[in-house]
Amino acid sequence: MTEKQSQHRAPIMEALIEFKKMRVVPFDVPGHKRGKGNKELTDFLGERCMSLDVNAMKPLDNLCHPVSVIYEAEQLAAEAFGAANAFFMVNGTTSAVQTMIMSVCKRGDKVILPRNVHRSAINALILCGAIPVYVNPEVNHRLGISLGMRLSEVEKAILQNPDAKAVFINNPTYYGICSNLKAITELAHRHNMQVLVDEAHGTHFYFGKNLPLSAMAAGADMSSVSMHKSGGSLTQSSFLLTGKNSNASYVRQIINLTQTTSGSYLLLSSLDISRKKLALEGEEIFAKVVQMSQYARDEINKIGDFYAYSKELINGDTVFDFDTTKLSINTFDVGLAGIEVYDILRDEYDIQIEFGDIGNILAYISVGDRQQDLERLVSALSEIRRRYKRDKGGMLRHEYINPLVAVAPQEAFYAPKKSVPLSQSVGQVCSESVMCYPPGIPILAPGEQITSEIVEYILYAKEKGCFLTGTEDMEVNHINVISKE
C-alpha cells in the first residue's frame, strides 16, 4: 500500500459508519441514547451528530489504550505529519502542551522556555513542579510584539543550566513569528536536552509548500499541533506528535493522567477526517490560504496607517521566518488599540477576528475563507480608519514585559496568599496568573514580582476592553499575592 493510498483511509469514521448500520440498542452512556432522550438537543445539533456521540466499545476502540481503529488512525496521522507517533488529543492543545512538559520534567527539574508562552505551559509547571529558566524574547518596538528566541540567548541559558531537561519553543507565535527551530533543536540535542515545540498555530507547516519548517522536520522530540485551528477539525481536537527517540508508551501514560476517559467520537472522527483531507489536498489548500492572506495584506497596506506585516521582518535570528498565512495587523498609527479595532469590527461590521491586543489584531485565514469575506474585512478597516483615526499620543506600545521571577510557579501558586487591591500590589509576589485572552500569554505568572509597569499595563488593558482572565477576582480589581505572615 502506497503512502497516498493509505492516506485515503479514515478508520475512525469508517468504524462509526459501520456501527451506525448495526442499529445497536444502547444500554450504556451517554444517557441521551443517540439523541432520543433530548429532542431539543437533537433538533439543535442534528440526528446524525447525536447518533454518533457514542461511548468507547470494542468495535470503536478506546482512546486510553487504542488497539484497533484509533490505533490505525494514529498511525496514519503519524505518517502524514512525518512523526514516529501521533496521539489523538480531545482536551485541546492545552493538554498536549502539558503532556510534553510533564513527560520530560518532574518536580525540581529545569526547563528552558521563552516567557511569552501560552498559559498551558505555565500551568504545566504548576502541575509538575518544574522550574522555568526564561529566555526573554526581544520586542519589536514599532509593532509592540515579542519575537522568537535568539539562538545565542538559548545557548547562554543552556550553558548556565546544563542540568535542564528540555528546551521549549513557540513556533510560530500568534503573530506568525518563527524562531530558528532547526539550529535550536541541534544545539539542545548536543547538550542532551529534549526539544518540545508548541505548534498550536502551525498545523499547515506540515502540508503547505514554501512555509516555515515544522517541528518534526527540524528533528524536535515532541510537538503539540492544534488541528482545529488551521487544520479544520472540531474545536478542542489536537495532535501530540513525537519523534523517534521519545518513549511513546510513557507519553501515553502521561496523557492518561489528565485526558478524559470518555473521549468524544465527534472530536476523534473530526481529527481523522481532517488529517485525510490535509494529507491528500493540503498543498493546494494552503497555497490558496497564502494567496488569500497576501491579497488581504496588500490591500490593507494600501489603506494607510494599518500595517499588515510579513516576511520583511525576517532578520535571520529572532525572526528567522514568518508564517505568511497569518494576517497580523498593527493598529498603532490609527490611534486605536488592537482590541478597540476588534470590538468595532464585531459590533459595527459583524466581523469576528481572532483577537486584538494592545497594538495588533489577527485575522485568522484558513481553508474555509472566501475572497468576498476578505474584501469585506478590507473595506471595514478602510472605513474604521476614516471614521475613528485619532492621535496616537498616550498609547502603550508593547504587549510583553520582562518578568522578575522570585519564586517557582508551583511553590507560588500553593503558597499562603492574600488578596490585595491591584493598585497596592506593587513589589509583592503574584500567586496567580493575569492574562489577556486571547492570546492567553500571561502578563503575570505565579511567582513573579508585580511592578508599577505591569500594573499600568493591566489597567490600560482593562480600560481598552481586553478580556482579562486567570485571577480569582473576576473583575481583576484585586490580585492574590504570597502572604508573608
Q: Are 266 and 305 a contacting pair, CB within 8 Å? A: no
Confidence of residue 2 (pLDDT cuts 50, 70, 90): very low
Whether 3-279 shares its CATH topology with 282-388 is answered no
- The larger pLDDT score, comparing residue 366 to residue 129, is at 129
* Domain 409-482, second-level architecture: Alpha-Beta Complex (3.90)
> 3-class SS at 344?
helix
pLDDT given for residue 327 in this prediction: 98
Q: Say how far apart CA 377 and CA 379 lie, in whole Å.
A: 5
Total-model pTM:
0.94
- Three cell numbers at 89? 488529543
DSSP letter string over 113-126? EESS--HHHHHHHH
Per-position b or e across 3-22, b if 16+ CB within 10 A of its CB: eeeebebbbbbebbeebeee
Q: Please, where are the H alpha helices in 304-408?
A: 338-349, 371-388
Burial (CB < 10 A; 0-12, 13-18, 19+), residue 293, is buried
Confidence of residue 54 (pLDDT cuts 50, 70, 90): very high
Q: Are 340 and 309 a contacting pair, CB within 8 Å? A: no
pLDDT given for residue 5 in this prediction: 55
HEC states along 188-251? Answer: HHHCCCEEEEEECCCHHHHCCCCCCCCHHHHCCCEEEECHHHHCCCCCCCEEEEECCCCCHHHH
Asked whether residue 89 carries a pLDDT value surpassing 70, the answer given is yes
Grid-cell match 495587523, residue found: 329
Say which DSSP state 138 is in.
P
CA 205 from chain centre, in angstroms, equals: 14
Question: What percentage of the chain exceeds 70 in pLDDT?
Answer: 98
- Three cell numbers at 106? 518532574
pLDDT given for residue 1 in this prediction: 38
pLDDT digits (tens, 9 = 90+) for 369-417: 999 999 999 999 999 999 999 998 878 776 678 888 999 999 999 999 9
**Listed residue (357, 354, 351) closest to 365, CA to CA:** 354
Domain boundaries, the chain: 3-279, 282-388, 409-482
**Listed residue (332, 374, 468) closest to 341, CA to CA:** 332
CATH superfamily, with its number, for domain 282-388: Aspartate Aminotransferase, domain 1 (3.90.1150.10)
pLDDT (average), residues 209-224: 98
Q: Are 337 and 395 a contacting pair, CB within 8 Å? A: yes
Contacts (Cβ under 8 Å, ≥6 apart) of 347: none
For residue 87, the surrounding DSSP H or E stretch is strand 85-89
pLDDT digits (tens, 9 = 90+) for 186-205: 999 999 999 999 999 999 99
* Domain 3-279, second-level architecture: 3-Layer(aba) Sandwich (3.40)
Q: What mean pLDDT value characterizes the chain?
A: 94
